Amino acid sequence: MSVTLTQINLYPIKSCAGVSVHSARVEKRGLQFDRRWMIVDESKRFISQRSHPQLALVKTGLANESISIQFDGMEFEIPQSTSGPSTAPVIVWEDEVEGILFGGRVNEALSDFLGQKVSLVYYPDSSSRQANLNYARPGDQVSFADAYPFLLLSEASLQDLNARLAEPLPMNRFRPNFVVRGCNPYAEDDWGQFSIGSQKFRGVKPCGRCEITTVDQQTGIPAKEPLTTFATYRKRGNSVYLGENVIGETEGEIFVGDELKIQI
């Protein structure tokens, strides 16, 4: 079995549209620039496509030292990283993380677009957030991603799902960081230690999927699939699963076309 990395995807702002790249740097918290920004409400709690599916329409891009943001006919730029004294504790699920609040017109525009007052916040290098200890080890870090630094999904798993659906779904519905080709459907469920190119990873658990998978990433409109179909064959307990949550063991560059090797 020869497994190849076919996509690398970054999500500079949590729950907004992603960016496909040819190469990326693997860091302890996840891919460089991945989910280092987030949108929070007035209580400083994160918001996502679960409650605001229109976030799918907030497009992002990477250029030079900035991140471009496009939505509702407007375009803004924010820095890829920022520093400053305007810090505050922000909440991601049950975790409280020290973030840097970002000011500017983009917050007003996002507030108008989402129908409530919101702000962008940055996750600085000085902050620390432990990955979910149900499966991670003490010291494993994550940025503003839900619980783990990386998500991997095989093309074969999506193809198997699509064979069960009346209308096939694109890969972006599932928001993976890594997409691979060359394995059997759901093989990634059982990957423990593996490498992509020169970088080492470990799979920690299959990824429980939520209602974000029902949001059309082109229109921001939610539907019932694929959760209805998942429940017929990918349900364990109260959750349905697709893809693998992954933690990095090393730091360095990976490239589309790199080979994925399972460690025996």
Provide the CATH number for the domain around residue 145. Answer: 2.40.33.20
> According to the model, what pLDDT value does residue 217 have?
97
pLDDT above 90: percentage of residues in the chain: 95
User: How crowded is the C-beta side of 109, counted as CA atoms within 13 Å?
Assistant: 15
Three-state SS sequence of 29-78: CEECCCCCEEEECCCCEECCCCCCHHHHHCEEEEECCEEEEEECCEEEEE
87-91, 157-161, 175-179: least confidently modelled range: 87-91
> According to the model, what pLDDT value does residue 103 have?
87
Mean pLDDT, residues 61-70: 95
User: Where residue 78 falls among pLDDT bands split at 50, 70, 90?
Assistant: very high
| Count of domains for the chain | 1
Mean pLDDT, residues 107-131: 96
Whose structure tokens read 């693998």? 244
Domain range for residue 197?
A: 3-262
> According to the model, what pLDDT value does residue 256 have?
98
> According to the model, what pLDDT value does residue 220 have?
97
> According to the model, what pLDDT value does residue 94 have?
95
User: Where residue 84 falls among pLDDT bands split at 50, 70, 90?
Assistant: confident
User: What does the alpha-carbon distance between residue 46 and residue 168 come to, in Å, rounded to a whole number?
Assistant: 30
> According to the model, what pLDDT value does residue 264 have?
65
In this predicted structure, the answer to whether residue 233 has a pLDDT above a threshold of 80 is: yes
Computed over every residue of the chain, the mean pLDDT equals 96
Mean pLDDT, residues 7-11: 98
